[in-house]
Structure 1
């Protein structure tokens, strides 16, 4: 490819509306262009990198006998109604109707579609195991699309599905895919940590997320410094703190005018936060949920969702929700409250071990002191569950060691689905005894665009992107200092042809721009290797080689460039420092 023919419109200024560095650099370097909130056009440079990620995926899927298919993006509502997810999926699903009034969705995922595909076609255990995958656009109506390709409304996803006759087979398929994903992300040059995760709207019995560690990550990854324990903070299970031995005191009401936050109450009453309880109110599927944790703890919303067996993620309650169940914002506690069909109370198990704490009096400008949950809560009418977020002060749930929290970008996830979809959709296969049994299923996803963005978040500097060789749009750029100099262009074109013939993915920057402009673009776009051809070097039969990752330079004999570059690229792909 010649740079003079490449459509890569670079920007000199940092885009003002870009949230994270990957979005900023992809816009500046001419990889993507924003169409609307959460919608992007992939330009040639990005599409070359996407293609390379996809080919790595295909190679690793081939290695575990997973077969590529392509299912429709447009999915009929009837299939989702069979699984029970048409109503449960929530506002993220993009729904449309055709001219005849039939309802469809733009696929956010394809469990229903693939289950429908296989049922009736796969009839015997002899046809199993079966693994199918696709690489396709997905659609989710994000409430607030942001972070460029990491949280968009339309995104490229590789999704795979496995079918087995029993749990043992499902487990083998699951771990085969887990290992394949580990290889994919390693080959893409990402530093990833697999962590225990919540199954979310997909459902099932077990899940791991592959987290690319980066400061810009949305997810908190908690892991042990002593053992191999690692989990999304939402799935981390903190142990209940020990019961304090303080003797219970009589419940009292105190005036707390305008103290609507737990910190304001603690300051007013001169109490440590751990001697207070905090109320957070949610709406899950129309039901108001009151979640209670200790004042210095935070609510784990996924744990609340699990505790009430909600089908969709919690949303913060509105003033109308509070009014509907008679709650007074800023002054809420479970004291004197009872559950109903439209109201539930979920209390963290640590709270039940407290004595003489402060909580809302369920009336404006007043709080209770000396609340003793086991005495003052209607204990037969509340849900007690571990709903607080795990913290660095907690011991490792596995070994008791010290915990650490890092930020991560979820680039992949693997799920054990079991029979969640096969049972609800009556997808059965004859087992060895000739009896129909539901498929044991797994599903597996990779965010292809997220992988591209995560690679940038992990590897950039003040000058631009530093691509891993395996997914760089071009591996090598040849930069003649002066494209008007015939001698320089003759050497540059010779090297270009030699490397092309050797299978090197090379770009010749034949533009008539100044050398400084070409160098800046090369650093911004992030080509792993730059070959500079100048009058000074060719007079001695040499060219300059520069490695983008560390900025190191060396000279090579012109006759040895192609062979040397091929060897260098192999080393860089294997992760060696040069």
Structure 2
């Protein structure tokens, strides 16, 4: 490929609407073009990267007996009505009608299509287990698309679905996929990806993991223990707090607290410790707008995902009007209205005397003891984990919070979809049973953008050679000089004939501009051919990460480049876990 023919423009200025580096660099580098909110077209440079990522994924899926299929983008609504998700999924699912007024959906995920494809095939136990996978465009109407390809509305995803006759068999295969995912990320040049326990969300199922690329600009908070291997997404992390009860009960008193509607205001007014206060966070159920109150210790925040799972349906932040059974700013668990559902978090357990709202305008209770004053209290885990919290695995106060980008996820779905869609098989005794499912996803474009985010400098991406758009770039600094051009042309042809992926900048432009664009294209190996170098019968060979910079004799350049390419690939392979 010659740069003079490469479709896509590269430029120096940072786009104004790019909030993270990878987004800016991939726009500047001619990788993609904005089409609409959360929708991008891919130029050849990015398409080459995503094709390599797909090839890595495809090889690993085939190695664990996956079979590639293809599901439709548009599906009849009946499939989603069978599973129950046509109504339960929110506005992320795009619903439409065709010319015959038939209801359709745009695929945002394909569990329903997977079951529909194989439910006739899988009618006998001797067909199991099996796994099918696809690469497909999907559309999810994200409320806040951002960060370029990292959070979009239209995207390419590899999703796989496995089918089993027992939970034990699913768990065995789940572990196989778990390891395969680590190999995928290692082969793509990001061995630093970690797996964390996660919340299943709308996918359902009891066990799930996310694969996180740690980076300060990540959207997800990752809970990590510095003393053991515990790792979890903030949404799924168990919060452990040990309040030491001293048995020092106080009299329950209703105290006037004028104009004190926040925990900080109340504690300041009463000269009390925020760690001995009870904070109320109020929500309403989407279905009927009934109120749900989460009570947590004053220095903690509510984990909405945990609360939503506990409630069992979608919720939203409450709007407390004058006719509501709650008094905004003065809500507490003692004498709260029976029209309200409330939960007490484990952070309140063991506190002898608590400051809490009195459910009366301008008043708070002091000396509240939940067990004494409320009776039998069932504590639940609905708070976010904090830095320095107790690890639920090793029991040490060694929790730290980091940021990460989700680059993959796997779920044990169980029989959620096969039961709902009446997929059954006959076992050895002729009894009808429901297959057990697992699903396994990787966003291809998001993975490319995440790698760029984790591996770049101020000049451009630093692509691992396994996914780089080209392995080598030749920069010919003087195409008008016959010797320079002849040398560059020959090396270009020799490398092409040897199967090396090489891009050749054959344009008559300033060296500074050529090097700037080369940094944006970011081939791992760069060969600089110039009259100055040729006076010494040499070319300059540098790597994009600046680890290698050498003058190599012209007659040795081909061998040096091919050996360097093999070395860079070997470095990646050395970090790939062997098959078990």
Which of 354, 358, 368 does residue 355 from structure 2 map onto?
358
Distance across 2 between alignment mates of 1:559 and 1:283: 74
Distance 1:144 1:278, change over 3 A: same
How high is the TM-score relative to the length of structure 2? Answer: 0.94
Distance 1:130 1:344 in 2: 44
Cα separation, partners in 2 of 1:264 and 1:562, compared to 1, 3 Å: farther
Is structure 2 residue 502 aligned with structure 1 residue 506?
Answer: yes
SS in 2 for 1:254: strand
Deviation string 1:398-457 (CA, Å, 9 cap, x unpaired) is 112322222111100111111111111110112222222111110010011111111011
Separation in structure 1 between the aligned mates of residue 354 and residue 490 of structure 2, nearest angstrom: 79
Partner of 1:318: 319
Instruction: Name the stretch that deviates more: 66-75 or 236-245.
Output: 236-245
SS of 2:260's equivalent in the other structure is coil
Report the counterpart of residue 395 of structure 1 in structure 2: 390
SS in 2 for 1:71: coil
> Following superposition of structure 1 onto structure 2, how do residues 11-90 of structure 1 map, counting pairs within 5 Å?
11-90=11-90
Distance in 1 (alpha carbons) for counterparts of 2:445 and 2:122: 33
1:324–1:56 distance in 2 versus 1, CA, 3 Å: farther
2:292 pairs with 1:293: no
Conservation of the 8 A alpha-carbon contact between 2:459 and 2:519: yes
1:427 is matched with 423
SS at match of 1:416: strand
> How many angstroms does 1:177 deviate by?
1.2
For residues 404 and 573 of structure 1, do their structure 2 counterparts lie closer, same or farther at Cα, with a shift above 3 Å needed? farther
* TM-score (ref. length: structure 1): 0.94
The answer as to whether partners of 2:477 and 2:508 remain within 8 angstroms in 1 is no
Residues 525 and 269 of structure 1, relative CA distance in 2, 3 Å threshold: farther
Q: Answer whether contact 2:241 2:390 (CA < 8 A) is retained.
A: no
Matched, 1:329 2:311: no
Runs of at least 5 residues in structure 1 that lack an aligned partner in the other structure: none
The answer on 1:126 being equivalent to 2:134 is no
CA-atom RMSD in angstroms: 1.9
Residue 477 of structure 1 is matched in structure 2 by 473
Tell me, in whole angstroms, the C-alpha distance in 2 between the residues paired with 1:331 and 1:511.
71
Structure 1 pair 102–339 and aligned structure 2 pair: CA distance change class (3 A): farther
Give a deviation string over 1:541-573, Cα, whole Å, max 9, x none: 221001111353102222332322222122223
* 2:158 match: 158
Answer yes or no: is the 8 Å Cα contact 1:332–1:359 preserved in 2. yes
Secondary structure at the aligned position of 1:441 is classed as strand
2: CA distance, partners of 1:361 / 1:55: 62
How far residue 133 of structure 1 moved from its aligned partner, in angstroms, is: 0.6
Partner of 2:569: 573
Name 1:136's counterpart in structure 2: 136
Once the two structures are TM-superposed, the CA of residue 246 in structure 1 deviates from its matched residue by: 4.2
Provide the rounded CA distance (Å) in 1 between the counterparts of 2:407 and 2:561: 31
Instruction: Note if contact 2:37-2:145 (Cα within 8 Å) is conserved in structure 1.
Output: yes
Counterpart Cα distance in 2 of 1:533 and 1:306: 62
Q: Distance in 1 between matches of 2:513 and 2:372?
A: 74
Distance 1:254 1:547, change over 3 A: same
Alignment partner of 1:234 is 2:240 = no
SS, match of residue 563 in structure 1: helix
More off after superposition, 111-120 vs 430-439: 430-439
Alpha carbons of structure 1 residues 143 and 256: separation in structure 2 relative to 1, 3 Å: farther
Kindly tell me the number of residue pairs found equivalent between the two proteins: 569
Offset of 1:339 from its aligned partner? 4.5
Evaluate the alpha carbon distance shift between residue 9 and residue 399 of structure 1 in structure 2; reply closer, same or farther with a 3 A threshold. Answer: same
| 1:486 equivalent in alignment to 2:490 | no
5+ residue gaps, structure 2, are 575-580
What is the deviation of 1:350?
2.6
Single out whichever of 517-526 and 196-205 deviates more from structure 2.
517-526
Contact conserved, 2:240 with 2:391, CA < 8 A, in 1? no
Partner of 1:533: 529
**1:564 maps to which residue?**
560
Distance in 2 of aligned mates of 1:150 and 1:28: 16
Q: 3-state SS of the aligned residue for 2:108?
A: coil
Q: Is the 8 A contact 1:476 1:506 kept in 2?
A: yes
Q: CA deviation at 1:196?
A: 0.7
SS at match of 2:413: strand
| Secondary structure in 1 matching 2:466 | helix
> Which segment drifts farther, 11-20 or 555-564?
555-564
Offset, 1:112: 0.9
Shift of 1:181: 0.9
Indicate if the aligned counterparts of 1:338 and 1:378 stay in contact, CA closer than 8 A: no
Counterparts of 1:71-110 in structure 2, within 5 Å, are: 71-110=71-110
CA contact (8 A) 1:335 1:378 kept: no
Distance 1:288 1:101 in 2: 38
The residue number in structure 1 matching 2:219 is 218
- Per-residue CA deviations over 1:76-102 (Å, capped at 9, x if unaligned) read 221112112111111221111223332
1:276 aligns with 2:277: yes
Question: Paired residue for 1:308?
Answer: 311
Whether the aligned pair in 2 keeps the contact of 1:502 and 1:562 (CA below 8 Å) is: no
Say if 1:240 and 1:386, in contact at 8 Å, map to a contact too: no
Cα distance in 2 between the residues matched to 1:146 and 1:430: 47
